[in-house]
Structure 1
């Protein structure tokens, strides 16, 4: 497999590449923005709940932070997976 200099999918071998590139880029952007927003909200909730002594809310907010970090990691993994699928598709 060839390595790419930029962190973006190679759409050269795909028909209607410009449309596919826009759709995938938009989905990755929405997922990343959602994960960051969830991370911020859950971190703020976690801090407020700790100061208020609400341990049940602390546990839920901590789980939300972990889910947000996992979502961001999956979003980054989706880019690598897309590159792998495109490379596999060109060799078949």
Structure 2
């Protein structure tokens, strides 16, 4: 199980100047996940406060924002697999 976890990540050896690409992709994934998690916290808190105060319109907007933030976090996490696939396709072209 430990060797499987160590092998997860994009194969940057297939493209030239891979060190800069690795830094750019890592930074983008980090900022994307950080933003998504921050929005999850903000939307969940807004949903809880607006539900308790009886503001149904704000609660429904916060709930929608929470679902969008969870979807964004999932897509950001899936971006690593997508980058792996694109780098694999690029190596065969």
Q: State TM-score, norm by structure 1.
A: 0.92
Q: Which structure 2 residue ranges, 5 or more long, are not aligned? A: none
What secondary structure sits across from 2:12 in the alignment?
coil
Shift in alpha-carbon separation, 1:4–1:50, aligned structure 2, 3 A: closer
TM-superposed deviation, 1:5: 4.8
TM-superposed deviation, 1:7: 2.5
Q: State TM-score, norm by structure 2.
A: 0.91
What secondary structure sits across from 1:31 in the alignment?
helix
TM-superposed deviation, 1:58: 0.4
Q: Which structure 1 residue ranges, 5 or more long, are not aligned? A: none
Q: How does 1:70-89 map to 2 (within 5 A)?
A: 70-89=71-90
Question: Where is the helix percentage greater, Structure 1 or Structure 2?
Answer: 2
- How many residues end up aligned between the 2 structures? 90
Q: Identify the residue that residue 35 of structure 1 maps to in structure 2.
A: 36
Judge which range, 69-78 or 5-14, deviates more: 5-14
